[in-house]
Amino acid sequence: MKRIMFTGGGSAGHVTVNLALIPHYLEQGYVVDYIGSENGIEKQLIASLPNVNYFPIATGKLRRYWSWDNFKDPFKVCKGVLQAIKIIKQRKPDLLFSKGGFVSVPVIMGAKMNKVPVIIHESDITPGLANRIATPMATAVCTTFVETVKGLKQGVNGYHVGAIMRPEIMNGDAVKGRAFAGFTSAKPILLIMGGSLGAQSINRAVREVLPLITEEFQVVHLCGKNQLDASITNPNYRQYEYIEQELPDVLAMADLVISRAGSNSIFEFCALHKPMLLIPLSAKQSRGDQILNARSFHKAGYCEVIEEENLTAGTLLKGMNDLHTNRDKYITNMRNSKQENAIEYVQDLIKRYARV
């Protein structure tokens, strides 16, 4: 019986590619396993898939800032490596596919020690810390941006595969989306996404000018865990911590999108031809990957961009209005792009490198 294992977590962006790939292997009769953290968002998201065996392990966080936890987490990582070695030895997967995130490092080490082929996927232009650590142990590395594969060290099997998108994202129903949100077709709809973990600066700026925004738009706001504001009763405003199953329908009904600049999301917006205003995480909050993603899309003519340091209620309102005014230009540019879904390419690579 053919077996495949997946890993990745810490944020929804480190899981969505796996969610796009897993259904194919379930349909093909594979035994599908997933190793993730004990309490991360990946556990919640994978629970929605039937017949996927989830194995939690201890994890540490790869931080770029001072914290006492930096002294404790290496012990958690070591424990996670031992757990991963044992799980992989027992499950005997033919290949491990990793989307990255801090949980993936001990799993990849466990696969390496069990001589299981490993394929890593990197969505952003610059590899994340976990993927940089894991790349020397990988059999192959897949990238979304062509710039990324060019930057891999000599000897690494790198493949520019493009964006891996969930098929269901392309099949949303705008009528169902409006019914879910309780909106009508009388006003255009603005979707605001701060990522699965939320974005306090975006939430704050949006709510400061919400009465002005809702004069022109109906607004769906995905504001992140524990970021709901129960005091807001605006009839043209709907707020959710996170949307999973209804997201394709919500995307289908949206006329404009305001978002962070995580690679998975912005490629989905591009494929759906959604004009977007991107507010990337600053270099102080990240390694700067979202800034590079946003600049690449802006250069291609797909979006407006506001740097985090320049985000205020006023710049948000202006950026949104400029986006709406120029929306037809962005839609045309995205329609003329040659973005292709990379699922079949990645499936071929998995078949090529799996040990069966």
pLDDT in tens, 86-116: 999 999 999 999 998 889 999 999 999 999 9
Rounded Cα distance between 95 and 111, Å, is 8
Rounded Cα distance between 257 and 213, Å, is 13
* Helix, strand, or coil (residue 280): coil
Question: What's residue 356's pLDDT?
Answer: 64
Question: What's residue 67's pLDDT?
Answer: 58
Provide CB contacts within 8 A for 131, sequence distance 6+.
Answer: 98, 100, 104, 120, 122, 141
229-285 tens-digit pLDDT: 999 999 999 999 988 889 999 999 999 999 999 888 999 999 999 999 999 988 777
Question: What's residue 262's pLDDT?
Answer: 87
Domain 3-164+341-353 belongs in CATH node 3.40.50.2000: yes
Rg (CA), the chain: 20
Question: What's residue 196's pLDDT?
Answer: 56
Question: What's residue 301's pLDDT?
Answer: 94
Q: Which residue ranges in the chain fall short of pLDDT 50?
A: none
CATH number for the 168-335 domain, one of 3.30.465.10, 3.40.50.300, 3.40.47.10, 3.40.50.2000? 3.40.50.2000
Rounded Cα distance between 161 and 264, Å, is 13
Q: Where are the domains of the chain?
A: 3-164+341-353, 168-335
Which residue carries 């990793």 as its tokens? 98
Rounded Cα distance between 90 and 194, Å, is 39
- Angle (CA) 199 43 172, round 5°: 65
